[in-house]
Structure 1
Amino acid sequence: MEKIGVLMTTPMSTFLEHELSTRFTLFKLWTQSCKSEFLQQNSSYIKAVVGDTTCGADSELIESLPNLEIVASYSVGLDKIDLDTCRDKGVRVTNTPDVLTDDVADLAIGMILAVLRRVCVGDEFVKSGEWKSCELGLSSKFSGKSVGIIGLGRIGSAIAKRADAFGCPISYHSRSQKSDANYKYYSNIVDLASNCQILIVACALTEETCHIVNRKVIDALGPNGILINIGRGAHIDESELVSALLEGRLAGAGLDVYEDEPEVPEQLFGLENVVLLPHVGSDTEETSKAMADLVIGNLDAHFNKKPLLSPVT
């Protein structure tokens, strides 16, 4: 294949970076001290952009690349890509669905267990030597607790399947009821929160779902409720979440995503009922390689005029 210019917006995967550099002329946007000057000098060579959940392709970047043909997202999420501008410009968009579903669903269950069974607290309790002088105290079980899921797509369904194995009653909220789902459907998210003990955010980030979990939803979940977010940070009104945890209006939370990553509210750092992870939902060796292979496969398919493996637009 002729060496085509590909712009990688941010560090993602060393394997992906290596594979891109062997197939294409790779430009690394994050290494440029003056991005506007760099784009001005190299924009005509760049026909593809590879981004992720931290830095995708906004309208400004798309408009600055006159020969751009495709944006390949190294993630399932599309919230960092201006899809309207891509459609207007005839730029194709792909992502990496399915390959990360199991990893994210596994992590959601792991975070529930970590919060309820106080796994991180117990780990520190042993390592600090406190176990020699006192008892840790009781935790709370997961099995049998009612689980509410916001978004019953690929990942939400995989979470539901896992929670069902723990004997948990499952309910969900989404834009519409799923005809193939045997779980209780709530058209109102407040009603969902009122009727579950664990609320999991697993929907896509859109204008409608930004801050879908607000004070009203948090208060409906209540002082015995647990909130888990493996979606996007902006799904939750972070200031309201912090207040609820500090005031005891929520029993606990497990967060893998935040509104202003990598910034995390420092008020959460000292809370034993909160488990914090650095956006690693799909960060396993197996999935990282599979996602990279899919990105490469989509680019190869596009430039060889073959059907895309995972087309969005």
Structure 2
Amino acid sequence: MSDVKIYITDCDHDNINEETKVFKEAGIDFELVQCHTEEDLINTLQDATAVCNQYAPFTEKVFAALPKLKTVVRYGVGVDNVDLKAASAHGVTVCNVPDYGTNEVADHGIALLLELVRKVGQANNDVQAGIWDYARYIPVRRMSTLTVGIIGLGRIGSAFAKRAHAFGCKVIAYDIDYTHAKADSELSFVELKDSMDEVLASSDVISLHCSLNESNAHFMNAQNFAKMKQGSFFVNVSRGGLVNEADLAQAVKSGHLSAAGIDVTCTEPLDANSPLRGCKNIVITPHMAWYAVEAASDLKTKCAQEAVRGAKGEPLRCPVNKI
């Protein structure tokens, strides 16, 4: 297929072994480049039919300058670095890989929740420093007494719900679309609510599992944190941009929230001047929830396979926009 070429626009993985295998088996020419700006993409991708993309920005300007491009496949679930409206206007289908790390992200969310409730990390640090005193961590809640409220009951939210239920937690949820949840017979234990406010007010734990878009950016702000129960917990393993970080820091510092566990921040790596830095009772991990050896391999393989389908004009598995 000499007239077809796939580019990996940017990639910080250790290797592209899985992608190379997929592209060679398909008989498609490919190239790894490292684009960071609009100009990089425009100058490099003039003969691109399909691309695998990690962080490089696909904007109106980029799409307008790449008439041969037909498919953009993002490494991961989120597509917030791609202008979907511009892609559709220029006849480019944007795809993601929504199912490569579902279990890993759900596991990590539960790990953060357990850390907030059981305070294992704090206890270990104290013991290593010569302090042996469980009373320093009082109060510690019984997991089975907690009501866990989930905002976003898609693949990952559903997996998180099942894990929380296994600990005996009551699970309630809000989503703008319950199609997925209602089709899953294993989620019959979840109480589906008509409003997010009801979930915020009734939960001991709020866990975010929704994508980021223009309509929900920073929706977890001072107003919504104030709706949460006094002493409740907050978990975010989805997107940092969903949260007003200054308001989160204040909610924890004031004691209105007992603690927060987050894997994602508005700016990554975390800015040196972030209001989250140094906040007692805020646990932060470096956007690692998605990762397991197996998940990373699945991501690379599925991304490459979708790019091949796009390059060949075959039906795509996970398009996120309409043309």
TM class by smaller structure: 0.7 to 0.9
Structural mapping, 1:128-167, within 5 Å: 128-131=129-132, 136-138=136-138, 139-167=140-168
Superposed, 1:1-313 pairs within 5 Å as: 1-2=1-2, 4-16=4-16, 19-20=19-20, 23-30=29-36, 36=39, 38-39=40-41, 41-52=43-54, 54-131=55-132, 136-138=136-138, 139-178=140-179, 179-180=182-183, 181-182=187-188, 183-264=190-271, 266-313=274-321
Task: Report the residue type matching 1:24 in the other structure.
Answer: F
Give the whole-Å Cα distance in 1 for the aligned partners of 2:197 and 2:108. Answer: 25
CA spacing shift, 1:150–1:2, aligned 2, 3 Å: same
Measure the CA separation in 2 of the matches of 1:123 and 1:257. 24
Q: Is the 8 A contact 1:69 1:91 kept in 2?
A: yes
CA separation in 1, counterparts of 2:71 and 2:269? 28
CA distance in 2, matches of 1:24, 1:59: 24
Note the alpha carbon deviations across 1:255-283, whole angstroms, 9 max, x for none: 11111222346443333421101111211
Structure 2 counterpart SS, 1:254: strand
Unpaired stretches in structure 2, ≥5 consecutive residues: none
**8 Å CA contact retained: 1:8, 1:26:** yes
User: What code does the residue aligned with 1:284 have?
Assistant: A
- Give the TM-score normalised by structure 2: 0.85
- Gap change, CA 1:212 and 1:41, over 3 Å in 2: closer
Q: Which moved more, 1:6-15 or 1:95-104?
A: 6-15
Residues 8, 31 of structure 2: 8 Å contact kept: no
Structure 2 SS opposite 1:68: coil
Q: How far did 1:103 drift?
A: 0.7
Residue 168 of structure 1 and its aligned partner are, at CA, apart by 0.7
Residue 60 of structure 1: CA displacement? 2.8
Q: Unaligned 5+ residue runs, structure 1?
A: none
Q: 1:277 and 1:9, CA in 2 relative to 1: closer, same or farther beyond 3 A?
A: farther
Three-state SS of the structure 2 residue aligned to 1:262 is: coil
**TM-score, length of structure 1 as denominator length:** 0.88
Amino acid paired to 1:256:
D
Higher alpha-carbon deviation: 301-310 or 276-285: 301-310
- Indicate the structure whose relative CO is greater, using CA pairs within 8 Å and at least 6 residues apart: 2
Aligned length: 307
Give the 3-state SS of the residue equivalent to 1:251 in structure 2: strand
Q: Helix, strand or coil for the counterpart of 2:52?
A: strand
**Cα distance in 2 between the residues matched to 1:207 and 1:62:** 20
C-alpha distance in 1, partners of 2:85/2:168?
Answer: 43
Partner letter of residue 211 of structure 1? H
* DSSP 3-state at the match of 1:46: coil
Give the CA deviation at 1:56: 4.7
Alignment check: 8 A CA contact 1:43 1:66 kept: no
